[in-house]
A and B are shown apart, each in its own frame.
Chain A
Amino acid sequence: MNTAKQCKWLFALPLLVFVSVASADWSALNMREGVTEISRQVYGLHMIMLGVCVVIGIFVFGTMIVSMLMHRKSLGVVPATFHDSTAIEIGWTLAPIVILVILAVPATTTLNAMYDASDSDIDIEVRGLQWKWQYTYLNDDPAKEISFISSLLTPEEEIYNRAPKREHYLLDVDNELVIPINKRVRFLITSADVIHAWWVPDFAVKKDAIPGFIHEAWTVVEQTGIYRGNCAELCGKDHGFMPIVVRAVEEAEYNDWVVEKQAEAASVFEIVGKQWSEEELMAEGEKVYSQTCAVCHQPNGQGLPPAFPALAGQGLSIGPLDAHVDVVLNGKPGSAMQAFSSQLNAAQLAAVITYERNSWGNKGESIQPKKIHEMIGGQ
């Protein structure tokens, strides 16, 4: 009697789970249908698979439940003695084969579509870095190429619960990737350090970014909007903090954005060339530091030794200027310190070096963007 009561519970439980699931906001908890032809096909595949699994599950678990209810010793049942049946066994070996072949057909079709190698309208190099993304819009004219770094915008205050979390907590970046709708965009994905994975669920695009190797993926977005994703391969400390944000816009708006970005790149010449005041350098430096350096060396300059050394009151930032500049520009082999000369412009580099030498009690000289510009032989 006792066991009977418990078994009723066993049946009630999936029902309970089902009810709680059905009453929840289901659309937010299923795979997203997305905004591309491919993502809708993938969604369709997912739903077919789910359906097939549910049907088989009802059949299999239903049989088990009937058996558990009817074939119990407490009901005075005498056990049967059969223990094989070739016909049945062949049957339930063949049935799954048929189901699998039927499932394999749409899966193969969709995969073929994903590997289509037609010409693209826009090629973007996506480069994973610890822990941000670098996007470069390839162009035959090097002067017209747009390249920028996209990193997490969510402030530390929100992450450490000192400030309320806003809507796009952990899914917001400083520079979004902007693409036009209804154009075929090809992503050339690689990495500078460890393996990352570039994933935007709404496009059904996920590709590992592997250092030394290039892989491609493509998409044609059909609706304007902002689409968010994450890095999907463990890549060290801040793996959870390198989101991807893509803004899909009308073609005209995209063209305007490109012109604006190209003008911005051109104006860097001007910015770099001028004489900067100490205050300007410190202000810009603080901005760059908190965006680029603080994840490892911490906002208070204390670092996270031994992997990430402190900058406050010790080490390079109070040592000779040349050595400091050298490490910031060229990185430190064998450590997580990257060569920032390829990520930041001369003004940002000069500002952040100045900032590091003059913060947290450090007292040192400043350096002008022009000087850095000469060192990196900018164009």
Chain B
Amino acid sequence: MSEQKNKANRTAIKLLSVACGMFVFGFALVPLYDVICDVTGLNGKTSGKTSGAAYLQGQAIQEQLVRDQEEPGFDDDRQVTIQFLASNNASMPWEFRPASRTLKVQPGKLNMTTFYARNIASMTITAQAVPSVTPSRAARYLHKTECFCFEQQRLASGESLDMPLRFIIDRDLPEDITTITLSYTLYDITQPVNDELAAYQGYKF
């Protein structure tokens, strides 16, 4: 009879581990979601510099450049419009705008533009630019080789900066996409950065 009790306990322990497993799975959804977004462009996220998919992006850019040399003039007359948007999150007091609203670019060619930012607040502010692309399926065809969104930007009061963006539009961009909109939103991350700094210094000294 106590065998039956053991059996019941074994079932209970198995079920409990399933529950714990699902708790972990909940957290695993976070990186999983990021990977899916990076690969498929779901949600129009473009890859950050540090993400795993940045490596894939690097590969894609390499291939693109190699192909450019091997078969120059490929699809030469195709033009894609890329449109830039710049906006601030609610409590972000910077002046922030693209140097040009739109560019006509050729897929497979390296392009460059800048965004202008000026800190009009009375204190130093650290900002993070968050990129987003629409239509979202175009995100995976936009390869950035250099972007101010790869790093945090720190401007003292009154300071201004022209922030560079270099990118290639993939030649494999679906034919029906003729306009890509790339938006950047600036977030004020001064507080978290200062907290981190303080924690680091506290640890060191």
How distant is the Cα of A377 from the Cα of B93 in the complex, in angstroms?
A: 12
B43 adjacent to A213 (CB under 8 Å):
yes
Nearest-CB residue, chain A, relative to B185: A212
Known: A212-B130, A330-B120, A377-B120. A117 touches B93 (CB 8 A): no
B153-196, CB under 8 A of A: which get 1 and which 0? 00000000000000000000000111101010101101100000
Partner of B102, one of A140, A213, A375: A140
B93 adjacent to A138 (CB under 8 Å):
no
Selecting from A33-41, A274-282, A336-344, A351-359, the interface stretch reads A336-344
Shortest distance in angstroms between A332's beta carbon and chain B's nearest beta carbon? 6
How distant is the Cα of A375 from the Cα of B95 in the complex, in angstroms?
A: 11
Total of A-B residue pairs, C-beta within 8 Å? 108
Query: Would you list which residues of chain A between 72 and 127 have a CB under 8 Å from chain B?
Result: 115, 117-120, 123, 125, 127
B96-128, CB under 8 A of A: which get 1 and which 0? 010011100000000000000010111000000
With an 8 A cutoff between CB atoms, is A23 at the interface? no
Shortest distance in angstroms between B156's beta carbon and chain A's nearest beta carbon? 14
With an 8 A cutoff between CB atoms, is A313 at the interface? no
Shortest distance in angstroms between A150's beta carbon and chain B's nearest beta carbon? 16
Known: A211-B185, A216-B135. A375 touches B101 (CB 8 A): no
With an 8 A cutoff between CB atoms, is A363 at the interface? no
A115: chain B residues at CB < 8 Å are 135
How distant is the Cα of A127 from the Cα of B86 in the complex, in angstroms?
A: 11
- Residue from A125, A193, A333 whose CB has the most chain B CB atoms within 10 Å: A333
Shortest distance in angstroms between A147's beta carbon and chain B's nearest beta carbon? 11
With an 8 A cutoff between CB atoms, is A27 at the interface? no
A332 adjacent to B89 (CB under 8 Å):
no
What bracket does the count of chain B residues touching chain A fall in?
A: 35 or more
Nearest-CB residue, chain A, relative to B130: A212
How distant is the Cα of A261 from the Cα of B95 in the complex, in angstroms?
A: 22
Partner of A331, one of B93, B95, B183: B93
B183 adjacent to A377 (CB under 8 Å):
no
Known: A138-B83, A139-B101. A212 touches B134 (CB 8 A): no
How distant is the Cα of A130 from the Cα of B91 in the complex, in angstroms?
A: 12
Partner of A333, one of B101, B122, B134, B188: B188
With an 8 A cutoff between CB atoms, is A376 at the interface? yes
How distant is the Cα of A376 from the Cα of B119 in the complex, in angstroms?
A: 9
A120 adjacent to B179 (CB under 8 Å):
yes
A and B contact pairs by CB, cutoff 8 A, 5 listed: A119-B179, A330-B120, A331-B92, A334-B91, A342-B88
Extra contacts, 11 of them, besides A117-B179, A214-B183, A329-B93 (Cβ < 8 A), are A118-B176, A119-B178, A125-B85, A125-B87, A212-B185, A212-B187, A214-B133, A215-B134, A330-B93, A330-B120, A332-B91
Q: Which 7 A-B pairs have the closest CB atoms?
A: A330-B93, A331-B91, A214-B183, A193-B90, A212-B130, A339-B93, A192-B90
Interface set of B (CB-CB < 8 Å, partner A):
43-44, 81, 83, 85, 87-93, 95, 97, 100-102, 118, 120-122, 130, 132-136, 176-179, 181, 183, 185, 187-188, 190-191
